[in-house]
Structures are given as C-alpha cells and as structure tokens.
Structure 1
Amino acid sequence: MSTIATHPYRVLLYYCYTPIEDPQVFRDQHHLLCLELNLLGRIIISEEGLNGTISGLAADCEAYMAAVKADPRFASIDFKVETHAQHAFQKLHVRYKPEIVHSGLTHLNPNERTGKHLSPAEFKKLKDDPDVVLVDMRSNYEHSVGKFKNAITFDIEHFRDMPQKAPEVLAPYKDKKIITYCTGGIKCEKASAFLLEQGFEEVYQLHGGIIKYAIEEGGEDFEGKCYVFDNRVAVEVNRVNPTIRSKCHVCGTATERMVNCANPHCNLHTTICETCGEALDGACSEPCRDHPDKRPYDGTGYYAKHLNGYDPKSGFYQNSLEMARRLGQTPTLSE
C-alpha cells in the first residue's frame, strides 16, 4: 500500500447502501460532476445505493468526497483513500444497474439486517480466536492472488454464485463466529445478511474490507496481494509479515503478476511470471500464442476493454458540461 505523500493522485474505493428514488437522473448528475473534476473510474448507481472506485488528482478527489458527503443520503459514506503516481483508470464509466454489486439477493437490505461491523483494530484482535472462522467472499481470481491466513474460500467465478456455495461449505461451522471479508466491504453487507438468514447466529464483517485493514493495521496475516479492479490489478497489503501466495499458471514459480491472456478468445485472467509472459508473447499457452487474433503484447498483460458504444463525453453529458461552464457553474449532486 503506497503511503508516499508526494504521489499526486488518489484512488478512492467506496459504497453506500441508501435509497435513491430516481437513480437514472442521479446517474446523469453524478456523471457530470465526475467529468467536471476530471475523475476516471467505475461507478454503479441503483435504487439501493452507490458503489465506486475512481482516481484523480488529490484536490479533485477531495472536492468529490466533499460533494458526496454534502448529500444527506451519503453523509456516512466511508472512503478508502490510497495514493498513486498516476490515474488508476483509463476511462470513466457511471452506470445504472439493478444492484450496486450483483448478488441476486435483492430481498435483503443491509440497512435493516447485516453482520456486525468490525473495525480493522477489532478484526485484528478477533481473527485468531480459535472460535472464529474467516470467510473470503471474493471470486477465485481474487483470492488466488491473496487472502487472509487460514481463511475459507469459495470456488466461485462471480459473487452471484456465493448463495449456492456458502451454506454447504460453511455448514460445519454454524456454531462458530463467522467473520466475512472482501476487498472494500461491499460484498460482505449482503453476504453476512444472507448468512444470518440461513441461520448462522454470530456473523461479523470486516468494515472497509482488506483495503481499510491494510491502511489502518498494516495488513498483518494477509498472504499475497489484494486484487483490485483498476489498472494496478493487485496491490501490496501486508507490511508486517508479507508472503507470496500465487504461482505462475505456466511454470509454477511463485509470482503475483496478474495478466490477461493475449488471445482475446481466451482472455484468461491469471498469474503468469515475466519469463513465461515473454516466452509466450503474453499468451497463457502455445496455442493461444499462435492464435491469429492474438493481441500485441506490451509486457503488461493489460488490455483496455471495448466501450461498446459507451462514450462518457457525448450527447447529454458533453452538452450539459459545456452549458454549465458557459454559465460559470460547477455541477453538484443536487442540480
């Protein structure tokens, strides 16, 4: 986790479960605010709340956080703030979706019932209790590169698969204290609510997730790196007793280097060391290396996604931004 004060950019990770009566209108207003502040990233808005990861210059991020918190609906939002040398994203996406994180558990409202929130300090004290079971609520590609020591993981490709896996995997631990965790805390809101619904009695969640624990408590006992949904791909978490958890998909040597296969028809997201990356020209196998549609490899293993016609600066958004500038106004959340 970078703490270098001279880094000019900030990366914000946040969410808030709160009712939004007209999310489509709010989406347009929020998009306009992000454009004005030169922010990049991914934001999801729905009737149930707000979920985002964005990057920008420090002053722009401060202005964004102040604008969001000024709205009474988001007054309690918890921003996880990291420093970075540059933008962590290439584009801006502000989109409406039915859920702010896809779980399929639309009947659960974390504001009504969810697991007890543990601060990073409380989590640190409780995680090694013999009566405690740590449960990782993330997908395979996330926990493969890093997870807490002794934590239980699910064999799932997407969070929406969790409700089918969790009851069976956790059945032997129903009399234990369950502590759920994820990257920033959002998945645990509904995951812990789901476990309570399934009859688990003592359910807790790491408030702010792995990222907040790293910032406030040094990430002790987190093995490997934390997968993140931006250009950084995976970040350092543990400053106390770090280890490498993952292995190269090709040769099996220890590596934390996450890439996508250069063959777009494969696009496997996995760990591949630099040596194998060079030998296979960014592919995960010889057949993928020899595929006629293989993308050019620049050494990073990162390939920008196609926008499928989505342009954040076209139509309504650009016209509204230009109009606001002509009038000498700064867009806000309440306009």
Structure 2
Amino acid sequence: MKNYQTLLYYCYSHIDNAEQFAADHLAFCKSLGLVGRIIVADEGLNGTVSGTPGSCKTYMDTAHADLRFAKTDFKIDEVDEPSFIKMHCRYKPEIVHSGLRDPKSIDPTKETGKHLEPKEFMEMKDREDVVVLDVRSTNEHNVGRFKNAVTLDIDNFREFPAKINELAQYKDKKILTYCTGGIKCEKASALLLKEGFNEVYQLHGGIIKYGKEAGGKDFEGKCYVFDNRVTVDVNQVNPTVVSTCLNCGTISSRMINCANPECNEHFTQCEACGWKLEGCCSDTCMSHPRKRPYDGTGYYVKVPQPINVEKISKRQYKKMGSPVTSATSSS
C-alpha cells in the first residue's frame, strides 16, 4: 500500500443552501488534511481529493452516512504523494457546465442513459450496431481514447450540446458514451435521449473504473486526469500510445502546460522538445517576458495574477449602462 490515496467521485443529489454547504465542506476537508478540488452545486457534488488512507476513509464514510450521498461511487487510486497542493471547494451553478440556457431542462436523477458496468461495456463496444462516443474535450481524447471511438472537437463539455447535430447519423445505433469518471456522461446521455436518440448507454464509473475492473482493454493511450498527475495508465491488457509531440511529431504521452502563463496551452510535448523550448509550445511563447521557469515537469502552481484595472473599469461601465470607450477597453 502506498502512503496516499486519490479519490475521484461525483453524486447528483439536491443540496439545500449549497453555497453554505460548500464553505462548511471546505472546512471539513481541511480538518482531515485533504487536498483537492470539489465543485458544489444545487444539483450535487463533483470532486477529486487526496490524502492519507485514513483521511480518505473518513471522508468516504462520512459521505456514505449522509442520505444525499449514500450511493456515491468512489474511484480510489493509490499514489506516492498527494495529487494536489491545496484544498479548494467552490460553489458553482452546475457540477458540470452543460452549456444549456436552461440547465434544469435535463435532470440526471430522473432520466439518463442506461449504466453499463465495465465488463458489460467491454462486451458491447465492438458490436456492429454500436457506436462508442467519447464526450470529453479534444485535449483529453488526444492523449487517450477507446479504439474506434467517435470523438468531438470541443474545448469544454459545455460545447457538447452544439455538436449533437453532428451525431444524427448514428440515431439508429446503440450509443455507448464514456468519460473519465462518468459524470459528463450523465448529462451527455440525458441530452442525447432528449434529442431523440433511442438507445443510449454510459460506462458506469468511466475510464478509471474500466481500467480497474476490465483491465483497460482497447483503451489506447493514457487517461487525462484533473490533478498533478495529468495522465494515468489504464490499459493493462494491450497498451499503446496514440498522442504525438506538438513540436516534432514524436509519439509521446507526456502532457504539459505552456510555460508562458498568458498562453498556458495544455498540449503533448516530448521530453527533448520540452528542454529545447523550455516548456513552451512555440518560439513566440519561449521569448515571452513572463515565461515561467521550466523544471522538466510542465506543471505550475496557480498564483494570484496582477489586478487588471482596465478590465475592472470595463465591467463597472457595463454595469452602469454607460458606453465603453476605446480608452477603457482592453485587448
């Protein structure tokens, strides 16, 4: 057993006074010595937290003791060190931004795709009447995806609704959706059902659970995760690498953030190009005056940014209904 664990989880369940719950929950997590990132909304929880096995057990036991979160499925990874540096717990309108004008038009607690356990998903995915759909962003599926999966060119899940028309050609098929831990599929499958797709399924527990319970068979590349690890191995059966270095085209699964904080592009870069370009995606970013020191990891701790007085002035003018002149607008 390793010294720390990382928990990935979500739960759709109504939370009264969710803003206050977020503040109280942050204090609770800190009292356990946990680090991580949790989103709280009226519709539920979405989180990844990391800490000692004892702290993680206390967290899971406390969640399961609460009727609202009793059915939460925790994906547990053993790690050598905590996967975050700080603990954040924030209130937001949705635990996954759907991009809908009326987010309440879909409710995963009432209607969503049929859940498939990993071994059921593995058995169905290669049938002729099935389409496997990746509902994650381009950055995520570029570094790893299921063999023959349909992928979408999106930067964020909120762009998914606008892409549904592109999937109309598959309406006569069984649609098997998947994502990292399952949370995006809850809304994606609900949206597909609402748009007239008749047979919609989702991989219960996502790629992470599939790797643990089905050996990750036919998942090509690595799985992108939203913590310091950036990517994790999934496939123990027939592993391969599908991503290539942005700069030289060499096959590589190494993802970093651009050292230029004003770019901060998340991309694949081999180790050789990383040192050559000092962790930047281009020569332009390499010469940027605010370029961060590169230590070979391509991971940077977020720090408070200087206050942009021009942007604040612009927002104030808009609130007052006054025209914004070129003198106050920022590029």
Q: Same fold (TM over 0.5)?
A: yes
Q: Deviations over 1:103-126 (max 9, x none)?
A: 134121011110000001111111
Counterpart of 2:116 in structure 1 is: 118
Partner of 1:250: 247
Q: Which has the higher contact order (CA 8 A, sep 6+)?
A: 1
Q: 2:140 aligns with which of 139, 142, 162?
A: 142
Structure 2 spans left out of the alignment, 5+ residues: 307-331
Q: In the TM superposition, what are the counterparts of 1:214-225 in structure 2 within 5 Å?
A: 214-225=211-222
Counting only pairs closer than 5 Å after superposition, residues 10-21 of structure 1 correspond to structure 2 as 10-21=5-16
Opposite residue 306 of structure 1, the aligned amino acid is V
Alignment partner of 2:180 out of 179, 183, 199: 183
Q: Map 1:1-335; keep pairs closer than 5 Å.
A: 5=1, 7-105=2-100, 106=103, 107-168=105-166, 170-307=167-304
Work out whether residues 244 and 255 of structure 1, in 8 Å CA contact, stay in contact via their aligned partners in 2.
yes
Aligned partner letter, 2:134: D
After the TM superposition, which of the residue ranges 79-88 and 261-270 deviates more from structure 2?
261-270
Query: In the alignment, is the contact (CA less than 8 A) between 2:137 and 2:157 conserved in 1?
Result: yes
Distance in 2, Cα, partners of 1:25 & 1:302: 32
Q: Distance in 1 between matches of 2:152 and 2:304?
A: 31
Q: Is the partner of 2:76 in helix, strand or coil?
A: strand
Counterpart for residue 323 of structure 2: none
Over the matched positions of the two proteins, sequence identity in percent amounts to 60
1:308 to partner: Cα distance: 6.4
Q: Is the 8 A contact 2:99 2:157 kept in 1?
A: no
Check 1:70–1:308 CA distance in 2 against 1; reply closer, same or farther (3 A cut): farther
- Matched to 2:177, the amino acid is T
| Code of the aligned partner of 1:150 | N
Structure 1 residues 61-118: Cα deviation after superposition (integer angstroms, max 9, x where no partner): 0000000110011111100001100000011110000000111341210111100000
Name the SS for the 2:11 alignment partner.
strand
**Per the alignment, in what secondary structure is the counterpart of residue 211 of structure 2?**
helix
What SS is found at the alignment partner of 1:93?
A: strand
Match of 1:333 in 2: none
Indicate conservation of the 8 Å contact 1:154/1:166, yes or no.
no
Distance in 1 separating the partners of 2:187 and 2:177:
10
Aligned to 2:326: none
Moved more, 155-164 or 276-285: 276-285
Gaps of 5+ in 1: 310-335
Q: Which whole-Å CA distance do the structure 2 matches of 1:166 and 1:240 have between them?
A: 33
Give the C-alpha shift of residue 306 in structure 1.
2.6
Contact kept in structure 2, 1:167 and 1:198, CA below 8 Å: no
Structure 2 contact 99–160 (Cα < 8 Å) conserved: no
Tell me how far 1:136 sits from its aligned partner: 0.2
Deviations 1:132-163 (A, max 9, x none): 10000000100000000000011000100000
How many Å separate the matches in 1 of 2:263 and 2:248? 19
Please give the alpha-carbon distance, in whole angstroms, between the structure 1 residues aligned to 2:92 and 2:211: 30
1:141 match: secondary structure: helix
Taking the aligned partners of 1:97 and 1:47, their CA distance within structure 2 comes to 8
What SS does the aligned partner of 2:291 have?
Answer: coil
TM-score by length of structure 2 reads 0.90
- Write the distance in 2 (CA, Å) between the matches of 1:307 and 1:97: 20
Q: Residues of 1 paired with 2:126 and 2:11: CA distance?
A: 29
Match of residue 327 from structure 1:
none
Aligned to 2:311: none
* TM-score when normalising by structure 1: 0.89
Could you tell me how far apart the structure 2 residues matched to 1:250 and 1:308 are? 28
Paired letter, 1:215: K
Once the 2 structures are TM-superposed, how far is the Cα of residue 30 of structure 1 from its aligned partner? 1.0
SS state at 2:152 partner: coil
Following TM superposition, the consecutive aligned residue runs of length 4 or more in structure 1 with deviations greater than 6 angstroms are none
Distance across 1 between alignment mates of 2:207 and 2:48: 15
Between 228-237 and 278-287, the greater mean CA deviation after superposition: 278-287
User: Which residue of 2 is the match for residue 328 of structure 1?
Assistant: none
- How many angstroms does 1:307 deviate by? 5.0
**Aligned AA for 2:287?**
D
C-alpha displacement at 1:263, in angstroms?
A: 1.2
